[in-house]
């Protein structure tokens, strides 16, 4: 099923009514948010004018998607590609995952 987002949405409040528990804006990239989608994992979402795109989904937790945040400061560097580090946590099993996105939205 995946993260359910209203693709006509323009603001946080209209997205949060679509089963998104937490929204974290990227610290330096406008229009990019990290969402915790409760029973549907986590998603990186890009807002560009009236366009909304789910750039990447992360579904490696086995419990309710609860918390998420971006790395602050300089991004980690893998070769010439800069990728931020993301931390996500699940509720019932209380696990923390630290990962980097596979998408090239940050290049």
pLDDT tens for each residue of 42-79: 999 999 888 888 999 999 998 999 999 999 866 555 55
**Is 17 part of any domain?**
yes
The total of structural domains in the chain comes to 1
Cα 97 to chain center, whole Å? 13
Domain presence at residue 107 = no
Residue 23 lies in a domain: yes
The CA–CA distances, whole Å, from 30 to 1, 10, 12, 38, 40 equal 27, 13, 14, 24, 24
Q: What is the mean pLDDT of the chain?
A: 80
Residue 92 lies in a domain: yes
Q: pTM of the entire structure?
A: 0.75
Show the domain range for 67: 12-99
Closest CA to 45 of 60, 61, 30, 62: 30
> Is residue 93 in a domain?
yes
Q: What's the pLDDT at 107?
A: 52
Residue 80 located in a structural domain: yes
């Amino acid at each position: 099923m995946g993260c359910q987002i209203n693709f006509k949405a323009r603001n946080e409040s209209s997205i949060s009514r679509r089963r998104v528990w937490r929204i974290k804006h990227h610290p330096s990239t406008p229009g990019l948010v990290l969402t915790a989608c409760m029973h549907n994992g986590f998603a990186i979402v890009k807002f560009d004018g009236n366009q909304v795109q789910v750039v990447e989904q992360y579904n490696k937790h086995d419990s309710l998607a609860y918390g998420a945040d971006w790395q602050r400061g300089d991004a980690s560097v893998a070769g010439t590609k800069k990728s931020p580090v993301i931390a996500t946590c699940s509720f019932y099993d209380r696990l923390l995952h630290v990962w980097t996105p596979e998408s090239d939205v940050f290049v």
